[in-house]
Amino acid sequence: MRRPVRAQVLEDLDDVAAHDHSFHEMGLVVAGAGRHLAVDGAHELRPGSLYLIPPHETHAIEAGEGLSILNLYYMVERLAEDLPALWEEPGLVPLFLDTETTRRRLPRRRQVQVRRRAALEAEIRSLVVESAWVDPSPLILRSGLLKVGALAARAWRLEDPDIAQGQLRAAVRREIAWLDELAATGAPLSNDPQQGLSADHLSELFRESIGLTRQAYFQQRRIHRACTRLLGTNDAISQIAMDLGYADAPHFCRHFRRHRGQSPGSYRRSFG
């Protein structure tokens, strides 16, 4: 997928066989009925049903009469530069970017109430219109996707106390920003406490909040930065490896394949 997001209207659906994607999928039912078959079981679909499917997770749809769904497909890599700011919106990252940046597993489906559905549906439909252009604006697609995520996260947290309480503590937010800066500049990760906290206490606080260790989060952010370079530039793989602090290109390629399941070159050809 060569755009930040792709949106489409699936009208009067027939059954959809089991399948998966290499990107995230969000679906909002706007008419009809059916069943969504996912790894966590079978779930009723009706107007207002919202579901999220992470990459490489199989799902299928049993369509009833008149089933219509607004679908979004998006890649976390396209939002990598905004990630520290996205953590400021409670629920947004753990809900919509969870497999990439956190292991805080949250429910991936919600029945959106009518009074909150209109704004969400309107924003997705605007992305459908923009996606139909031969040369859509990356800025409109990117900003629209972020607005959809914020609206959906708000609908989620208004009904779920766990998400409503999901605002990160200041120390964790500062650590996220610092780790992101290190990942962007190619600097090595330091175990020294940055905020007057002991290293052990900061590590425990970070893992409890994010679900990943500081080391794992830092490595994930380096991969995000590499993806951004691979998708948005023609820079040589060896140059990207050096800029991001890897020992050499083979080390970078091994690390990238471990996280993405393919080589940097193959990833660039597939999505760049």
Amino acid at 158: L
**DSSP one-letter code for 254:** H
194 pLDDT more than 70: no
Q: How many CB atoms lie within 10 A of CB 260?
A: 18
| CATH number for region 5-164 | 2.60.120.280
Q: Which fold has domain 177-271?
A: Arc Repressor Mutant, subunit A (1.10.10)
Mean pLDDT of the chain: 87
8 pLDDT more than 90: yes
User: Is 157 within 8 Å of 106 (Cβ atoms)?
Assistant: no
User: Is 228 within 8 Å of 80 (Cβ atoms)?
Assistant: yes
Mean pLDDT of 11-33: 94
**What size, in residues, is the chain?**
272
pLDDT in tens, 52-70: 898 888 999 999 999 999 9
Enumerate the domain spans of the chain.
5-164, 177-271
pTM of the complete model: 0.82
Q: How many CA atoms lie within 13 A of 236 on its CB side?
A: 6
Mean pLDDT of 27-31: 97
Q: How many CB atoms lie within 10 A of CB 10?
A: 17
Q: How many CB atoms lie within 10 A of CB 251?
A: 11
**Rounded distance between C-alpha atoms, residue 118 and residue 151, angstroms:** 10
